[in-house]
Amino acid sequence: MRTSVLLASAMLMVAACGGGGNENSNLDGQGDASVTGDGTTPGDDGGISIGCKPACTGTQFCSITNTCIEKGTCAADGDCAPGMKCDASRKCIPGGDCGSQKAGATAIPPNMLITLDRSCSMTGMVGGSTKWQVAVKALNTMLTSYTAKIRFGLILFPDIETDKCTQGAIPFEPAVGNEPKISAMLTSALKAADPLFPDGPCVTNIDTAIDQASKSTALKDATRGNYVLLVSDGAQAGCNVAGGDAGTEKMIGDLLAKGVKTAVIGFGAGVDGAQLDKFAVAGGMPATGASKYYKAEDAASLDKALAAIAGAALGCTYKLDKTPDDPTKIFVFFDGTKEVPRDGANGWTYDPATNSVTFHGTACSALKADMVKTLDIVLGCKTTPT
């Protein structure tokens, strides 16, 4: 049984059954016209003749049924590549008929802790809006666009609950369902009367904000990707409790060593670009181009930077809800026919410890870029020893 599911869905149905067994099948399900059914040349010695006589020509190939058929079609499952079967329309599709077990595969969303500057300079103007208004709108858009795809958390600095140079508890640790709560907090903070409106304290304590992020318990989750997103419109100023720029750079590097990447956005003309470049490189998630930090100077460029970072953070790991009978017989297809190789560079790998499939390289990039419409994972059947 084959089940195709749009990648936009939260659950990907995975058909579990053996495919065709013809070792002479090509990856697109077409047999090899130059080889007979059992890989031998038919003989005239009185034995059983196997293969197609006369030999297939032109656009035809020799089916496992010993008949000539058109390439791109099939007459039996054996004409298809492993992990595929011949359907009623004589096309090779992912699946098989050896057990018809179904499993679910769910994408594992990464954690992202947004660390947002709410210093007084965020009330400066960008076009006809304040930087704070632009930032809140852009972040709300990202929260909506990636709801359930990324587990968001939020830190605002400077903190108003402690002294001006330190941070208290993390308001929102990355978790499922945080989006509406974070959005509500940010939207309320657009009002000048709101305690979180950026009108004080007027310091930029990037170092203690990153120190606070480094203490996140959610970011210690080794089963998913973990990210810190730093958004600031200025340089470290007024505080150096956690080591200033040098301390920040070291903490970001320490986070990376623990598997937590940091992306950096500098918003507006008041940033210290050279220092943000160092933070971005230390965080292991630099932007492409001359600036290693993501440079945002208006609403459009901020939206673009946030989308790029969120897209890069999206995971390519899918957890199966049933364990394959035979982990060596897993077959993966994009869009029904293109088999994705089992390859740690540009294909996929299976982790039995977590019962998950992870895509790598070009395969992962294709999924993130929405170049793949359907994903099929076929779990082959375990062969019973005779």
pLDDT digits (tens, 9 = 90+) for 29-73: 443 333 333 333 333 333 343 689 899 999 999 999 999 999 999
Write the DSSP string, 116-160.
EE--GGGGSEETTEEHHHHHHHHHHHHHHHTBTTBEEEEEEES-S
**What pLDDT, on the 0 to 100 scale, is given for residue 353?**
92
Closest by CA to 52, choosing from 80, 22, 61, 25, is 61
Q: For residue 15, what are the β-bridge partners? A: 102
**What pLDDT, on the 0 to 100 scale, is given for residue 106?**
86
- Kindly report, residue by residue over 228-284, the tens digit of the pLDDT: 999 999 999 999 999 999 999 999 999 999 999 999 999 999 999 999 999 999 999
Average pLDDT over residues 116-133: 96
Average pLDDT over residues 126-147: 97
- Kindly report, residue by residue over 84-122, the tens digit of the pLDDT: 789 899 988 887 655 445 567 889 999 999 999 999 999
Cβ atoms < 10 Å from Cβ of 77: 22
Least confident of 21-35, 186-200, 213-227, 267-281: 21-35
Closest by CA to 154, choosing from 120, 114, 208, is 114
Average pLDDT over residues 308-336: 90
Peptide bond into 385 cis (omega under 30): no
- CB-based contacts of 71: which residues, under 8 Å, 6+ apart? 30, 31, 33, 59, 60, 61
Q: Say yes or no to pLDDT of 20 above 70.
A: no
Average pLDDT over residues 215-226: 96
**What pLDDT, on the 0 to 100 scale, is given for residue 109?**
96
Domains and CATH numbers, the chain: 19-81 (no CATH), 109-313 (3.40.50.410)
Answer whether 247's CB lies under 8 Å from 212's CB. no
- CB-based contacts of 32: which residues, under 8 Å, 6+ apart? 24, 25, 26, 61, 62
* Residue 169 to residue 330: CA distance in whole angstroms: 45
**What pLDDT, on the 0 to 100 scale, is given for residue 322?**
86
Does this model's pTM top 0.85? My answer is no
Answer whether 196's CB lies under 8 Å from 119's CB. no
Strands (E), the chain: 5-6, 11-16, 60-62, 68-70, 84-86, 92-94, 101-107, 111-117, 125-126, 129-130, 151-157, 226-232, 260-267, 294-296, 317-320, 330-334, 338-340, 348-351, 356-359, 374-379
Write the DSSP string, 203-254.
-B-HHHHHHHHHT-SGGG-TTS-EEEEEEESS--BS--TT-HHHHHHHHHHH
* Residue 379 to residue 324: CA distance in whole angstroms: 6
The residue ranking higher by pLDDT, 35 or 182, is 182
Answer whether 227's CB lies under 8 Å from 109's CB. no
pLDDT band at 26 (very low <50, low <70, confident <90, very high): very low
Highest mean pLDDT among 3-17, 68-82, 116-130 belongs to: 116-130
